Amino acid sequence: MAKSGIFGQASNFISKLSLLQKIVLFGVTFAVLFGLIYIVVKTSNKVEYAVLFSQLEPNEAGKIVEKLKEKKINYKLEDNGTTILLDKNKVYDTRVSIAAEGLPESGVVGYEIFDKTNLGMSEFVQKLNFRRALEGELSKTISSLNGVKKARVHIVIPEKALFEKEQKQPTASVTLQLAGENALSKLNIRGIQNLVAASVEGLTPNNVTVVDHRGKIISESELDPNSLLGKTQTQHEQQIRVEQYLTNKVQSLLDGVLGPGNSEVRVSADLDFTQIEKTITDFNPDKQVARREQSTSNNAKTVDSLQYPAPNRTVEQSNTIAEYEIPQTIEKIVNGVGTIKRITVGALINGTYKVVEKDGKRQVEYIPRTEEEIKKLEEIVKNAVGFDPNRNDQISIVNVPFDTQVPEPEVLQPTSPWYLQPEYLRLWGLIAAILIITLVIYLFFHSRHIKETARIAMALPEPRKLLEEEKVDIERELEGLRPTEEQMLFLPTEIPEQLLLTEEAGGVSIPEEGIDLSIIKKPSIKLAEAPLLTEEALMKIEIKDKIKDFIETNPTDAAKLIRMYLTQEEPQKRETY
């Protein structure tokens, strides 16, 4: 029931509109509906594109585009024509069909160069093709690594010399297009160097140079660990690893206590790379042991002596030789390389913040750490790094307010909103064209309406004014006469008969609820100021004022009524005032 009421109100509203208003209403409605339908269709039929091929050479991209045009497949080009985008649902089928036709013809040639043999090929061409194939295969392998978009390899293999001293070493260079600024670590770059070196006979990793797409050398020559420079580099790397290890230990502890971003720690470690060998020999004479003992004895009788009175006698002789072993302890001590000689730690810690009311405004007040808190944090740092006062270690903790202001983001070029995209700009242009056409139609009919009204107004005779003599005669005739109350009440209460004609008869359409006569102005002649008139004169004046007000409030219907008067076969005689 409510629905029918809404449609009924809409129908009544439209029926009250003039022809021009209906044209404008239907034009605007059509433009809005057309725009909505266009947006819905455009959104539902929006194609989701995916990459068919990327990083193509211009000639390869041109050949693939020609094939897509032959197959009548829609595509898009990006990255200055090096990337071809296709409907996501057609990518795989199209890629297979394009590849079956030998596209793209990659500039990197691998071992497929030997698929077609040529009996008349010279040795020089064979060597050249082998080097091209090797470079192509290495490029493909390196390009498949994570962090590498594209790679090219160049190998120089010198001719074999007659003498070994004159033989030159092979060299190679690798150009990488990285996926990011720090896509590869030093370990990854070292792996690429070893990969290329292991693929070429006689090539060493130090003879492989790796550069990025900006021409910056990102490879480092591996030093001999036995050389002085090699040892220095190794020691420096060891020192960095120790400092980083200790820094991470202290930083993780402070982050757990103070919270992330409220502390900064730096550790400097002094390592001792001096290698000392000691040999200690300890002798203990109290614990000597006989190592060897030799004893000899001899018994002999003496002969008679010529001297008297010495008798004959026996001589005994013994000899003992003893060697004692004194125990000794030999101790050989080799000091470890890279021991910590001294550690210094510097730490910055942030305080706390409190929101306070000051001068009627809320402000953030900084509260520094207490001495007790700083001492506790110092003990934590000492335990983390293994503080040793005998090494003259030092730890410094400073409480300072941190700069917590967020840096202003970089001003980016604002992107166009969706309603300024090219596909929607065409829609807005079409809607504007429809509105302009509707406005032109409205102005055309409106100008005709103005001209028709002016023509009718010019055709009507102007009302004639009463002459002074006629006014004097009327005053004389009506002198002494005044209208009674009953006469004053004798006023027309209905619309003239001509206004009640139907539209088919050329009349004016009157609303069903009728016309409220109370809103129509009263006669323009006041009885107190004008001469006394007869009832007939007053009636004519009243009717004239009502018709005038009706023409002002309903110009269209009044024009129809006037047009009907002009087209009557037997015009009636009308008085004008």
Same domain, yes or no: 204 and 243: no
Mean predicted confidence (pLDDT) in 265-278: 84
**Which CATH number do you get for residue 115?**
3.30.300.30
pLDDT at 121: 74
| Distance separating alpha carbons of residues 162 and 43, to the nearest angstrom | 74
pLDDT at 524: 45
**Residue 561, in any domain of the structure:** no
**Residue 86, in any domain of the structure:** no
Same domain, yes or no: 194 and 342: no
Mean predicted confidence (pLDDT) in 411-415: 49
Checking if the pLDDT of 538 tops 80, the result is: no
| Alpha-carbon separation of residue 147 from 181, 193, 221 (angstroms) | 10, 16, 22
DSSP helix/strand/coil, 511:
coil
**Residue 78, in any domain of the structure:** no
Same domain, yes or no: 292 and 313: yes
Q: Highest-confidence range of 174-178, 220-224, 332-336, by mean pLDDT?
A: 174-178
| Distance separating alpha carbons of residues 47 and 36, to the nearest angstrom | 19
With CA atoms as reference, report the closest residue to 157 among 126, 190, 202.
202
Mean predicted confidence (pLDDT) in 370-397: 92
Same domain, yes or no: 175 and 271: no
DSSP 42-100: HHHT---EEEEE-S--HHHHHHHHHHHHHTT--EEEETTTTEEEEEGGGHHHHHHHHHH
Same domain, yes or no: 217 and 364: no
**Residue 116, in any domain of the structure:** yes
Evaluate the CA torsion angle 372, 377, 378, 380 in order and state its sign: positive
- Residue 185 pLDDT grade (very low, low, confident, very high; cuts 50, 70, 90): confident
By the 8 A CB rule, do 135 and 154 touch?
A: yes
What are residue 372's phi and psi, to 5 degrees?
-65, -40
With CA atoms as reference, report the closest residue to 177 among 201, 206, 210.
210
Same domain, yes or no: 123 and 184: yes
Strands 49-53 and 83-87: antiparallel
| Distance separating alpha carbons of residues 336 and 332, to the nearest angstrom | 13
pLDDT at 246: 93
**Residue 529, in any domain of the structure:** no
Q: Where among 400, 431, 450 does a domain terminate?
A: 400
pLDDT at 565: 65
**Residue 256, in any domain of the structure:** yes
User: Domain tally for the chain?
Assistant: 3
By the 8 A CB rule, do 169 and 204 touch?
A: yes
- Show the DSSP H helices in 276-322 as ranges: none
Q: Between 120 and 218, name the one with better pLDDT.
A: 218
| Alpha-carbon separation of residue 163 from 159, 168, 496 (angstroms) | 12, 10, 133
- Residue 346 pLDDT grade (very low, low, confident, very high; cuts 50, 70, 90): very high
The residues, any chain, with a CB within 8 Å of residue 382's CB and separated by 6 or more, are 395
| Distance separating alpha carbons of residues 205 and 193, to the nearest angstrom | 5
With CA atoms as reference, report the closest residue to 239 among 384, 346, 386, 338.
338
| Alpha-carbon separation of residue 541 from 279, 545, 575 (angstroms) | 145, 6, 11
Q: Which two tokens stand for residue 38?
A: 């266009």
Strands (E), 307-375: 314-325, 328-334, 339-349, 352-358, 361-367
Mean predicted confidence (pLDDT) in 436-458: 66
Same domain, yes or no: 254 and 381: yes
Checking if the pLDDT of 423 tops 70, the result is: no
Q: Where among 308, 334, 360 does a domain terminate?
A: 334
Same domain, yes or no: 312 and 347: no
Please state, rounded to an integer, the average pLDDT across all residues of the chain.
73
DSSP 388-420: -GGGT-EEEEEE-----PPPPPP-PPPPPPGGG
Strands 75-78 and 83-87: antiparallel
Q: What percent of the chain has pLDDT over 70?
A: 62
pLDDT at 143: 85
Q: Where among 358, 382, 400 does a domain terminate?
A: 400
pLDDT at 252: 92
pLDDT at 234: 78
- Residue 559 pLDDT grade (very low, low, confident, very high; cuts 50, 70, 90): confident
Cβ atoms within 10 Å, residue 290 = 9
User: For residue 150, what are the β-bridge partners?
Assistant: 177
| Distance separating alpha carbons of residues 234 and 576, to the nearest angstrom | 122
User: For residue 266, what are the β-bridge partners?
Assistant: 346
With CA atoms as reference, report the closest residue to 488 among 517, 438, 520, 523.
523
Instruction: Determine whether 430 is exposed, middle or buried from the number of CB atoms within 10 Å of its CB (0-12, 13-18, 19+).
Output: middle
| Alpha-carbon separation of residue 376 from 53, 101, 257, 352 (angstroms) | 61, 74, 11, 16
pLDDT at 569: 43
| Alpha-carbon separation of residue 179 from 81, 106, 113, 189, 561 (angstroms) | 19, 20, 29, 14, 84
Q: Between 366 and 359, name the one with better pLDDT.
A: 366
Do you find a cis peptide bond into 531, omega within 30 degrees of 0?
Answer: no
- Residue 230 pLDDT grade (very low, low, confident, very high; cuts 50, 70, 90): low
User: For residue 524, what are the β-bridge partners?
Assistant: none
Phi-psi label, residue 348: left if phi above 0, alpha if psi -120 to 50, beta otherwise: beta
Distance of CA 149 to the CA centre of its chain: 21
By the 8 A CB rule, do 333 and 278 touch?
A: yes
pLDDT at 267: 93
Mean predicted confidence (pLDDT) in 316-321: 74
Same domain, yes or no: 185 and 128: yes
Same domain, yes or no: 178 and 322: no
- Residue 409 pLDDT grade (very low, low, confident, very high; cuts 50, 70, 90): very low
pLDDT at 195: 92
| Distance separating alpha carbons of residues 100 and 440, to the nearest angstrom | 59
User: For residue 399, what are the β-bridge partners?
Assistant: 349
pLDDT at 441: 73
DSSP helix/strand/coil, 334:
strand
Mean predicted confidence (pLDDT) in 280-303: 69
Residue for token digits 């400092």? 243
Amino acid at 520: I
pLDDT at 411: 45
Same domain, yes or no: 199 and 138: yes
The residues, any chain, with a CB within 8 Å of residue 106's CB and separated by 6 or more, are 60
Q: Between 74 and 7, name the one with better pLDDT.
A: 74
What are residue 464's phi and psi, to 5 degrees?
-90, 135
Note the pLDDT tens digit of each residue in 488-514: 444 444 444 444 444 444 444 444 444
Mean predicted confidence (pLDDT) in 247-265: 91
What is the residue range of 257's domain?
238-275+336-400
| Distance separating alpha carbons of residues 344 and 267, to the nearest angstrom | 6
With CA atoms as reference, report the closest residue to 252 among 388, 387, 384.
384
- Residue 60 pLDDT grade (very low, low, confident, very high; cuts 50, 70, 90): confident
pLDDT at 76: 83
- Count of alpha carbons within 13 Å of 380, Cβ hemisphere only? 20
The residues, any chain, with a CB within 8 Å of residue 363's CB and separated by 6 or more, are 355, 356, 357
DSSP helix/strand/coil, 17:
coil
Note the pLDDT tens digit of each residue in 92-116: 888 888 877 777 766 566 666 666 6
Mean predicted confidence (pLDDT) in 387-394: 92
What are residue 211's phi and psi, to 5 degrees?
-125, 155
Same domain, yes or no: 137 and 283: no
pLDDT at 472: 55
**Residue 301, in any domain of the structure:** yes
**Residue 64, in any domain of the structure:** no
